[in-house]
Structure formats: C-alpha cells, structure tokens
Structure 1
Amino acid sequence: MTSPTDSSKPLIMLVGMGDLVAKVLTMLLSDPATNRIVLAGRDTETIRRRGNLALFTATNLGHHGTVDTVHVDLRDVDATAQTLAQVRPDIIFMGGSLQSWRVITALPKEIFDELDEAQFGPWLPMHLTLNLLLMQAVRESGVDAKVVNAAFPDAVGPVLDKVGLAPTIGVGNVANIVPALTLGAAHLLDADPADVELRLTAQHYFSHYVPRFGDAGRGAYHLGVRVAGRPAEVDHAALFAQLDNRLKRLGGVDGQLLTASSAVRVLHGMATDSGVLAHAPAPNGLPGGYPVRVHQDGAVLDLPEGLGSDEAIRLNEECQRADGIDRIGEDGTVYFAEPEMAIMKRLLGYECPSMKLGDVAEWADELDAKYRVFAARFA
C-alpha cells in the first residue's frame, strides 16, 4: 500500500477510522502537502481497505500519496507509545471517541430534543477518556508530535491542559459555523463573500445552538466582521436567523463533511507552516473556540481589535457553562452544571456532579451502560 515517500513532507497519523476520519483522509490525499499518511486503529484489515479506497480514489484524480497502516489500541498506553516511537509521526489527528456525538441523533426526534437539552458537557467522559490515553502515550513515546483533536476539543483541551497533556489544537465546532456566518454577513452587507472576514470567539454550545434555533440562546460570544479590510457592523439577530432559514444545512453524518474541511484547513496550515487564518477550539489547551493563525507548531490567537485574550477566555468559560460544564478545577476535576446534569439523571439515571481526571474511564463506562439501556427502549 506504499509508494516512494517524500520525507520532507510531514507524516500525518490518523487515529480511528470513523466517518470523519475517512473524509479527512480523502481530502488530505488530494493535496501534495498532506498526502503522506499512516492510519492507526485496532482493526488493521478494515482500515487498510479504507486506506486503499481513498488511495485509489486519489490516484484516479491524479493525486499520488502514500497510506500505511499500523495497529494501535489506545487502551494499551505502553504499546501505543512504542508504536509512536517507531512511526514518529509529525502530526497526529485524533478522531477516536467512545461514543460519537451523533449517536443520540438516532433517537426519535421528540426524545432526542428532550435529551439534547442536557447539552454536550455531560457527555465529556466519552471523548476525554481516549484522548487522555493518547496523550499519555505521546508523552511516554518521546516523539515531538503535534496532536490535533476532533473529539469535543472545547472541553477536552482545557481539562488535559491542567495536567500538561493538552492536544496542540482542536477542530470543528466554532469553525463549522463560520462559513454560514460569512455568507450571511455578505448577504446583509451586500458584499462579495470573498471580501468578508469574520473573527468569532465562541464555545461549542454557540456553534451547536445557532444553526438549530437561529439565535444564540444562552451562549456568550464575540463576533468581529470586516469587509475589504474595514470593520463592518452587522445585525446579529438578522445574521443568526439566516442559519435556521435560507442558510440551513444538513447535519448528522452528512454534516461531518464540514467538520472534515475545518480539520483539513488546520492540518494543511500546520503541514505548510502557512499562518492561515482559521477558527479552532482549544488552541494550546484554552477553553472554547477562537480565531487563530495556524503554523507548524500549532496556532496563535488572532483576536479582533478590542478583544483581549483574558476576555476571550472569560466568554468561552461563560458559554461553557451553558453547555453543561460549570468549571474545570486546577487539578483537572470537572464540575458539571446542575440543570443539565439533572436532565441526564431524569432520563438516563446518570448523575455525575464532578469528575476527577483519574476517574474518567469509570464514568465513561457508567454513562455508556446507562445510555444503552435508555436507547434500547426506543429501538
């Protein structure tokens, strides 16, 4: 499955092989700067075939990259560390999670809507567990790989930052809403979308809520708009309303295409050290999402004029509370918001007021078991 490699290009390891990673793989192989790839997962035969499919598709379009496959079971930290030390990836894209965010969308609509009021914060154990194991393995391996995380990065990043294990940067969420907001602002300002530049600071709650309801709900945020390099004023209510109307998009599995494109923007920026303007969650372990400039080593904040980093962090922490996470302690303990956790208790019988980092796997197992019992009632 290999072909001659250009070792001057970064080696990108993709961990997990769900729908998102498959889409990212296909996009990466279409670009000579990002087409040196290794797939990592437990089922090497399946991911080898997935890799071949993407490789053959790229070849059909005239793009010639390389795709290798290695076995990785994130629950075996020592073995993962040894594999990383052997492969020595430059960038690791983490697409693994114990439960995809879209699992609950398969519930009947009225049941999903009721459970969705608990927001995303209470589901943190499902996304934090494997990230913790991966970052422990990266540290143990001694490899200076940059880690790009797709699994609830807004909260995973700041939790792991408390113990010095934060992924380099996240993808999705804040980035996913920027294209629609850009087109919506261009419409309201009668401007060419190419001339419109947004800088949005917002946590996952905001990017999830606005497209569904056409307003910001309880989400704190900051939005700066420029047209042809000059500041512009936009009616936020009119702007957000478009996302639940003329700019409504497909979600669920189809919506993963948008997340994949946001991931590839970040990965390409790192691979080429371009300094491209992007939006990303948890750069350097910060809570929530920010406008950033992406470089080889990760990203630096590129906030709009008048918004300092302390205020940007405060806004994201406030928005995080609307997402069901009250605060993150200095030791990585997560304190969940009572109203959202009460919904989880009422519907699933699951209650986790606070979670120490060392207990995350046990909480994930309990949440998984209780959700399975709950979901079985509607199968």
Structure 2
Amino acid sequence: MTSSRSERAGAPALGGDRPLIMLVGMGDLSARVLTMLLDDPATSRVVLAGRNTEAIRRRGNLALFTAANLGHHGSVDVEHVDLRNVEATARTLARVRPDIVFTGASLQSWRVITQLPRQVFEELDEAQFGPWLPMHLTLNHLLMQAVRAAGIGARVVNAAFPDAVGPVLDKVGLAPTIGVGNVANIVPALTHGSAHLLGVRPCEVEVRLTAQHYFSHYVPRFGDAGRGAYHLGVSVAGRDRSDEIDHRALFAQLDNRLKRLGGVDGQLLTASSAVRVLRGMATDSGVLAHAPAPGGLPGGYPVRVHRDGGRVDLPGGLALRDAVRINEDCQRADGIDRIDDDGTVHFAEREMSVMRRLLGYDCPSMKLGDCAEWADELGRKYREFAAKFD
C-alpha cells in the first residue's frame, strides 16, 4: 500500500498533523467506517489491524481505490494483530503509535442470532443484549491491557456493546475513551420525527437523548419505549420545545413512516455515527454528537467531541448523576442488574432465564477475570443451539 514506516512510527504525513487512526477488527462495520474515513483528508491516514493480513489488505485497497475514484488520496497500511496475545499487540501499538484506535472486534456479532428462524430469533431476543456481554467485553479487555502496556496514550473508540463494556472496564481503570452507535443510531429518526410533529425543518431541530442500548434497539422495532428509561430534550433554533413533544406519537413514527432497514444494512448508520465521533476527535471540533460510555459512564449521552473524547453535554435541568441513574435503570431492562466496584457484572434473572431455557447457559454473575471463559461457554452453547436449525 502507500504509507511508509516513518508514517507508521508517527512522523508527519501528507497532511502534516493528521492523526493516525488504527482500525482493529475488520468486519462489516469497520469496513464501512474505513470507506467514510478515506473520504475526508482529516481522517484519511489509516492503519488496519487484524489476524488475516491478506484479507484486510485487499479490503483496504478496495476502500483506497474507491476513494481515489472520488478524488481523495489517503494512506492505508496493514499490521498483524491478534488481540489474544497482549504482549505482541502492545509491541505493535508501541511501534505503530496510533493516535486513535477504533475497535469493532467482537467474539460474536450482535447480528448472528438474527440468522435464526424468525420465531426462534424473537424468542431468544427476549434475553435482550446484556447476557451477551462476554462476547464483546473479552477482546476489549485484552485490547485495553495492550494499550496500557504500550504506554502510548492512544484514545480508544469502541463499537462493541460500549454501553456496558465501558463501565465494566472503568472499574479497573481500563475504559475505552468513548463508544459509538446505539444511542446515536436513533437520534436522526427522533430528529426527523420531532420536526414532523412541530412543523419545522429537521435542520432546525436539536435533540439531546440520554438512553442505554435497550431504548435505541427497542423503539425502532416496536414504536414505543418498552421498559426503557430515558430522557429526551428537543429544541428548535435554540428554544426548548421538549414539552410540546408527544413521546408516544414521536416513537410510533419510528415503526411506521420513519422505519428504516436494520441488520447488516443498518450498520451504515452505526458507521456514520462512528465517523462523526472519529472526525470530531481528529479535528478537535467540539461537534455535538451522541455516544455511549464517554469516559466509562454507563449507557449513552449527548456529548461534545474533542481530541480527547466526548464531554457530556446534557440539556438544561438534567444533572449528570440523574443521567447516570436513567442509564443504569435502562441497563436493567437490557439484562444487566448492576456492575460492582471490582467490575463484577450481575445479570438480571428475567433475561438470563431466557438464556438458561433456550441455550442451557446460566451466568448469574461474572467476574471480569472470568470473562473469556464465560465467552467460550456461551459461544459453544449458542453454536450447539443454532445447529438445530441448519
């Protein structure tokens, strides 16, 4: 590809002080993020990291050549990284010295269970997302250990269940800088829906939403908030008009006139939310965004994005302690009852009972150090379950 060893070592590249952004885990989401990053000179200095270097090299070349067709010429390099080898990952990070690390790495994508027969999927989906935490926490834990060992001060942006991964790792001082997706994915629809109800243009509407993953997953599917706690602020041209919004009418639009494609296609929206954050960090812009787990907080918040991550920017009248409480309440609806000070996670019985009944998997609580073992067991039991429907 095009970048040199001096660039990988952190020397100024084509754009002078452009940050070096490393993408770890080159699945569908990271591939979409890469394409968008190369569309902007501020974010077009990229290194891809994963186990199959030939596959990600080809993926990188595809994105690089696509950008060239549109008149954009960035740089893409490739590094071998196996997150299960913390020492080797730390050495690579210390040599490459990325400014920002974006990770989409997970042991099992959220969308895997959507490939089950519809009735089976809907039954298993009653477990919500919380019980699947080991599949997303394990690799994040390993990556953050490697970042610490490398001693490079890179900011880490996490796309794998950041709402819960962030606060768990924060208990041991290893939280990623900020997350992406989830709360951010529902904000555009809420913006358009609010504009429709208020009779104004979407560009005049500013939404500030505090909510955990459960809310952003539930509302677009069912047109109501279910058991999810949340706080929604809506302003038009700087004037608060939150009291004029009928929440039931607003949410109903998301399962009707504002319903969108989900699944793999829907990852385009997650990628755009990620790039909004990554660009904000790359340019130190202070742009308003929505993101999960800024600084390791539970759930999702409106934030102002700067070089070092996201600063929570709540609507007037909502204190941070209350926003945290709302997210913790919403987290219980997602199947996580609480997170102890040592990072031990206690799962909600209602949701875990679904996993126990369907998969034979029962994890009432999980110490952080046992996460990888629980992930192995959950992965094995899910594969056995899914095989019945092949």
TM-score (norm 2): 0.97
Runs of 4+ aligned structure 1 residues displaced above 2 Å come to 3-7
For residues 200-253 of structure 1, what are the alpha-carbon distances to aligned partners after superposition, in whole Å with 9 as ceiling and x for unaligned? Answer: 000000000000000000000000000111011200000000000000000000
Q: Which of 303, 308, 321 is the matching residue for 2:319?
A: 308
Equivalent position of 1:16 in the other structure: 25
Equivalent position of 2:201 in the other structure: 192
Q: Which runs of 5+ in 2 are unaligned?
A: 4-12
Equivalent position of 2:223 in the other structure: 214
Superposition pairs of residues 37-186 of structure 1, within 5 angstroms: 37-186=46-195
Distance 1:200 1:29 in 2: 29
Following TM superposition, by how much is the alpha carbon of 1:6 offset from its aligned partner in structure 2, in angstroms? 3.1
Please give the secondary structure, in 1, of the residue aligned with 2:224. Answer: coil
Equivalent position of 2:7 in the other structure: none
Distance 1:91 1:209 in 2: 31
Following TM superposition, by how much is the alpha carbon of 1:319 offset from its aligned partner in structure 2, in angstroms? 0.2
RMSD across aligned C-alpha pairs, in angstroms? 0.6
For residues 122-153 of structure 1, what are the alpha-carbon distances to aligned partners after superposition, in whole Å with 9 as ceiling and x for unaligned? Answer: 00000000000000000000011000000000
Q: Say if 2:312 is the partner of 1:269.
A: no
Following TM superposition, by how much is the alpha carbon of 1:66 offset from its aligned partner in structure 2, in angstroms? 0.1
Alignment coverage as a number of residue pairs? 379
For residues 88-127 of structure 1, what are the alpha-carbon distances to aligned partners after superposition, in whole Å with 9 as ceiling and x for unaligned? Answer: 0000001100000000000011000000000000000000
Distance 1:300 1:18 in 2: 28
In the alignment, residue 283 of structure 1 is paired with which amino acid? P
Following TM superposition, by how much is the alpha carbon of 1:269 offset from its aligned partner in structure 2, in angstroms? 0.1
For residues 260-289 of structure 1, what are the alpha-carbon distances to aligned partners after superposition, in whole Å with 9 as ceiling and x for unaligned? Answer: 000000000000000000000000000000
Following TM superposition, by how much is the alpha carbon of 1:7 offset from its aligned partner in structure 2, in angstroms? 4.2
Q: Any conservation in 1 of the 2:24–2:48 contact (CA below 8 Å)?
A: yes
Equivalent position of 2:35 in the other structure: 26
Equivalent position of 1:343 in the other structure: 354
In the alignment, residue 2 of structure 1 is paired with which amino acid? T
Please give the secondary structure, in 2, of the residue aligned with 1:253. Answer: coil
In the alignment, residue 339 of structure 2 is paired with which amino acid? I
For residues 14-70 of structure 1, what are the alpha-carbon distances to aligned partners after superposition, in whole Å with 9 as ceiling and x for unaligned? Answer: 001100000000000000000000000000000000000000000010000000000
Q: Which runs of 5+ in 1 are unaligned?
A: none
Please give the secondary structure, in 1, of the residue aligned with 2:43. Answer: coil
Q: Which of 294, 305, 319 is the matching residue for 1:294?
A: 305
Equivalent position of 1:239 in the other structure: 250
In the alignment, residue 2 of structure 2 is paired with which amino acid? T
